[in-house]
Structure 1
Amino acid sequence: MARQKSFADSPCPVGRAVDIVGDRWALLIVRDAFDGVRRFGDFLASLGAARNILSDRLKMLVEAGVLESVPASDGSAYQEYVLTKKGEGLFPVIVMLRQWAEANLFPAGEKRAVLIDRKSGRAVKKQTLRHDDGRPLNAANTAIKRPDAP
């Protein structure tokens, strides 16, 4: 299968991000890494992806600096995949994607996985984006200034 056009040199931050995490498997790998999955076999069991696809995505996420491959924490010969600081920076993306899905893809009353606070055990409240002055941040009150714009 031919590789899609790269946006690695695009002036658009969204384009550059999609190059790395715009694939369904990449985002699900990152989600699982936040949930504590670290080993290839555990990602495989959780995701149900083909071995070659999982291997390719893990390699790409390591090359992009989202994950790091490290010796297994139990001293075995296995490698583990851990989120880097760059990878941990994707947490708000995962939370917002989760919230969007909760609001738009689940009928009322349907059971679903819930993000909880580890300390209290309570569900995390809906997060909102805000300007630095506290106003809600949304598409209607923002615009893109392109690098070649005056």
Structure 2
Amino acid sequence: MAEPDDPGCSTVKAVEVVGERWTLFVLREALVGASRFSEFRARLGIASDVLAARLSKLVDTGLMARQSYREPGQRPRDCYRLTESGRQLGVVLCALQEWGDEHLPGAPSRVAFRTADGRPVTVRFVDDEGVVVPVDQVRAERT
């Protein structure tokens, strides 16, 4: 049986990367288009030192990439773009948000849409043949 801090467990590894509250919020804002330090700061109301630490960790772990930009007449600055790995976490964040919308009081917070036609999408279990599987018909096992 794996211990909660088993370094070989994928869940443990993932939580070590994204398990901090502000990290999830930074990722959420990046998924909806934030890329500049000032945007993250304004949207989240997060302390600059905490934001800098979270962005550095996201860059170090390959979830975001740092890119330089320069506004006319200004010094060069960095912006932060999600990598493919970071964009894939969108599924996790959308699942968490959908769960919150369904099980916690309050109005739904966000909806995900298909870029091609604007149709809403949801997160579901899908088998290897593309069939949606109800959550009560899914079991997890250790490999």
Whether TM-score is above 0.5 comes out as yes
TM-score tier, shorter chain, comes to: 0.7 to 0.9
Give the CA deviation at 1:48: 0.7
Q: What code does the residue aligned with 2:30 have?
A: A
Say if 1:131 and 1:137, in contact at 8 Å, map to a contact too: no
Give the equivalent residue in structure 2 for 1:129: 125
1:107-144 CA distances to partner (integer Å, 9 max, x unpaired)? 4xx3633333445444x243311222436164764232
Aligned in 2, Cα 1:143/1:34: closer, same or farther, shift over 3 Å? closer
Q: What code does the residue aligned with 2:80 have?
A: Y
Does 2:65 align with 1:68?
yes
Does 2:101 align with 1:102?
yes
Give the equivalent residue in structure 1 for 2:90: 91
- Give TM-score, length-normalised by structure 1: 0.77
Give, in whole Å, the separation in 1 of the partners of 2:81 and 2:61. Answer: 13
Aligned in 2, Cα 1:112/1:86: closer, same or farther, shift over 3 Å? closer
Matched length: 137
Give the CA deviation at 1:90: 0.8
Q: What code does the residue aligned with 2:78 have?
A: Q
**Identity across matched positions, percent:** 29
Stretch deviating more after TM superposition (40-49 or 124-133): 124-133
